[in-house]
């Protein structure tokens, strides 16, 4: 019976087998962690879908595999169930001996190269006055996520979170309907779990679009690439004296210039007219 690389997220096409917890000849119980997967989104333990004896490993630690590829084979196995991905604490990524990119950063670079090659990227920007907004102690990111979710009528909006050695994009759910406080609480929880290595596959898949708050580090304006599988990315710049830039980068197959301009204008309007409900 075969063990295949599971589809952990809608847009996942491959990943790195970072560890095997069993060796050929070992008995394995269904639901027991069998191997670990590292992707550009999350590091995850994958549980065994069956009881049996691990007969051979075909994809070794440190090798990449595509979704559906056979990684190993069982002998004397019971009928297979479903692979289950569970979160696990992730050790801080380490640089290569040459001081180069971590595996996560390399995968992000590969994904961005793919995005540039396969997506007709468009962009627009507008300056916005938010000096009248009373944030009540909330971070700006919650405002951006809610405004973007409502402008797109999108239930799931990704939020870029910087972690040691890489970047992950957990997903805020009900972004088009939840209150500001609920969205702020989700973002805080997702960011904390991202930095502690406790995200699961469910936390990172299926975003319609993403918010990357480049202004958090003082950047005034940036035009990031739209990731494969998503329609757009909103990049708010630093808010200085109540004013800042909003950049919208989009897939031209999803939006023409007029439609993208209208989305950005709607985001700006929703930010200016924000209410906490």
pLDDT at 2 over 50: yes
Residue 132 lies in a domain: yes
Same domain, 262 and 216: yes
Confidence at 104, pLDDT banded by 50, 70, 90:
confident
Task: Provide the pLDDT for residue 97.
Answer: 45
Residue 112 lies in a domain: no
Q: What is the pLDDT of the chain when averaged over all its residues?
A: 88
Domain stop point among 35, 68, 87: 87
Q: Which of 72-86, 103-117, 133-147 has the highest mean pLDDT?
A: 133-147
Domain that holds residue 130: 120-272
Domain stop point among 40, 68, 87: 87
Output the pTM of the full model.
0.78
Name the residue with tokens 């595996």: 103
Instruction: Give the domain CATH number at 135.
Output: 3.30.559.10
- Please state the rounded mean pLDDT for residues 226-252: 96
pLDDT at 90 over 70: no
pLDDT at 89 over 70: no
pLDDT at 199 over 90: no
Cα–Cα nearest to 126, from 257, 266, 247: 247
Same domain, 129 and 254: yes
Task: Provide the pLDDT for residue 232.
Answer: 98
Taking a C-beta distance cutoff of 8 angstroms, is the pair 120, 232 a contact? Answer: no
Q: Each residue of 52-79: pLDDT tens digit?
A: 999 999 999 999 999 999 999 998 777 6
Instruction: Give the domain CATH number at 16.
Output: 2.40.50.100
Taking a C-beta distance cutoff of 8 angstroms, is the pair 229, 208 a contact? Answer: no
Same domain, 149 and 245: yes
Q: Where are the beta strands (DSSP E) in 93-150?
A: 121-129
Task: Provide the pLDDT for residue 44.
Answer: 83
Q: What does the block give as tokens for 104?
A: 């996560």
Residue 181 lies in a domain: yes
Q: How many domains does the chain have?
A: 2
Name the phi and psi angles at 274, rounded to 5. Answer: -65, 145
pLDDT at 128 over 80: yes
């Amino acid at each position: 019976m075969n063990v295949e690389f599971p589809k952990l997220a809608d847009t996942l096409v491959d990943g790195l087998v970072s560890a095997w917890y069993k060796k050929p000849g070992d008995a394995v119980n269904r639901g027991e962690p069998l191997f670990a997967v590292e992707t550009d989104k999350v590091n995850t333990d994958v549980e065994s879908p069956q009881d049996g004896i691990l007969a051979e490993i075909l994809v070794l630690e440190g090798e990449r595999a595509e979704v559906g590829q056979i990684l190993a084979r069982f002998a004397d196995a019971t009928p297979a169930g479903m692979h289950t991905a569970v979160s696990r604490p992730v050790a801080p990524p380490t640089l290569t001996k040459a001081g180069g990119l971590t595996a996560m950063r390399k995968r992000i670079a590969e994904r961005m190269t793919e995005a540039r090659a396969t997506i007709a990227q468009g962009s627009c920007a507008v300056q916005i006055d938010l000096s009248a907004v009373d944030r009540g102690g909330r971070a700006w990111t919650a405002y951006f996520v809610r405004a973007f979710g409502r402008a797109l009528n999108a239930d799931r909006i990704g939020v870029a979170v910087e972690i040691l050695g890489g970047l992950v994009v957990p997903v805020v759910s009900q972004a088009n309907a939840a209150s500001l406080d609920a969205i702020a609480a989700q973002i805080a929880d997702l960011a904390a779990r991202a930095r502690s290595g406790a995200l699961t596959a469910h936390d990172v898949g299926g975003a319609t679009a993403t918010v990357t708050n480049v202004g958090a580090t003082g950047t005034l304006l940036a035009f990031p690439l739209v990731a494969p599988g998503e329609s757009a990315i909103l990049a708010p710049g630093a808010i200085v004296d109540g004013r800042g830039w909003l950049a919208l980068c989009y897939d031209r197959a999803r939006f023409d210039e007029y439609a993208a301009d209208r989305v950005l204008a709607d985001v700006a309007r929703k930010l200016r007219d924000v209410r906490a409900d």
